[in-house]
Structure 1
């Protein structure tokens, strides 16, 4: 009798084990199917790749979408343009009307042959400050991280029509999770900095018109866009600047200098340096020393004299090559 009870107990245990294994298999299969569906949706969602202005000042959008789908550019409840993706899923959408000066928030909507619609996961913020290719900045907002610029080389953009002529951002640093935004404007004016919907901090300009706003904040590696507003004594906004800032690696300090509204590279003069040796290090040729001098003529009064610890701007290589092609560059003998 005990023997048969033992056999029965083993059979019940085995049955329960098999049922558990079956349920586990079903669960894994369901999870995998759900994962595949998510991945499928992600693959089918349209996406932006670049956003620019053509020679006629019309916006041109390049991107990816389901093959042969109809792709629409949506701004809120408005459809601004439409095109078709090719067999590989690539598309080019050119708007038929100029975007006016201001700020826009775009998404893409793609409809495939079956009538199923997909909306882009990311949104793109576009700021138009003036006509011309450099008058537009577009950055893609990733819900899981930082923004990413998809337009031409970003520069500081002025919002509004009556910005204070002295208002400017000169430097942004990020080290050990301390973000510091520095600039200048009129003396004793209020300045407030924001990142998206987050207020980073505020401060007042000193008697010389300089300001510095520090904030402890954790930022992702990637592209970021800060807005800095200037207020007069009556509390009215008299200037708004949208400033691009890039973090290459999360824990690596960033010291970004801005000149004439654009981010520039800099180098710290070391003992024994000359403009020729700096040009050699930066561009591979000492003949570019004149370009470095021209970019720093506001602080260098003598081509033959630089001091240890000075921070010099390194002009973009394209600008250096243009200057070189004009034949105006010369080799310098420096002390």
Structure 2
């Protein structure tokens, strides 16, 4: 297990405005582990990724002794207990390709909603996922979009210059209609840098 720290895109805010994101690299892949604090009783969706079989994996944080109920387009999909460390992880098998509203409700033992978070989510096609897995050797060549990601921020981390977002946009024109509208769960190719 390897951990790395990556600075989040905070625009013109001072570098101390948000804590850095923590990336966990393990045999399961790379997972963003948010360290941003959440209010007591709140719920967070920290990561949307895919497992080796192409199923959707969600993870986040919430109140211990509570549950999370996951919805796609207001249809309940699954419910899971939040672990004692305040983290939760859920697999969503058999989600068809398409764009969804992903909703995470934190519920108490009586089933009452005590916190909620929503995010748009684009379920990538099996073809895109297979291509990413087959090209997975060597330096990171793709990124799975997480809540709060921007092309500018990804470009700043990858190339050291936010203006280089155009490189990512051009390499993924078939998946990006508007560079200001990207969705969690999308997978974008990252064009090589000169040193790759």
Other-structure match for 2:80: 83
Determine if contact 1:58/1:99 at 8 Å carries over to the other structure: yes
Deviations 1:247-302 (A, max 9, x none): 759xx76233236433336xxxxxxxxxxxxxxxxxxxxxxxxxxxxxxxxxxxxx
4+ runs deviating over 6 angstroms = none
Distance in 2 (alpha carbons) for counterparts of 1:77 and 1:114? 20
Shift of 1:66: 1.0
TM-score by length of 1: 0.32
Aligned residues: 125
Distance in 2 (alpha carbons) for counterparts of 1:315 and 1:100? 37
Say if 2:146 is the partner of 1:139. yes
Shift of 1:77: 2.1
Distance in 2 (alpha carbons) for counterparts of 1:93 and 1:253? 33
Paired residue secondary structure (1:118): strand
More RCO (CA 8 Å, sep 6+): 2
Deviations 1:114-157 (A, max 9, x none): 65422334x222212321274994432xxxxxxx23xxxxxxxx
Determine if contact 1:72/1:83 at 8 Å carries over to the other structure: yes
TM-score by length of 2: 0.52
Other-structure match for 1:28: none
Report the structure, 1 or 2, having the larger helix content. Answer: 1
Larger Rg belongs to: 1
Paired residue secondary structure (1:62): strand
Determine if contact 2:67/2:106 at 8 Å carries over to the other structure: yes
Other-structure match for 1:101: 97
Structure 2 vs 1, CA of residues 245 and 117 (structure 1 numbering), >3 Å: closer, same or farther?
A: same
Gaps of 5+ in 2: 1-37, 134-142, 173-188
Gaps of 5+ in 1: 1-40, 141-147, 150-222, 224-243, 266-312, 317-335
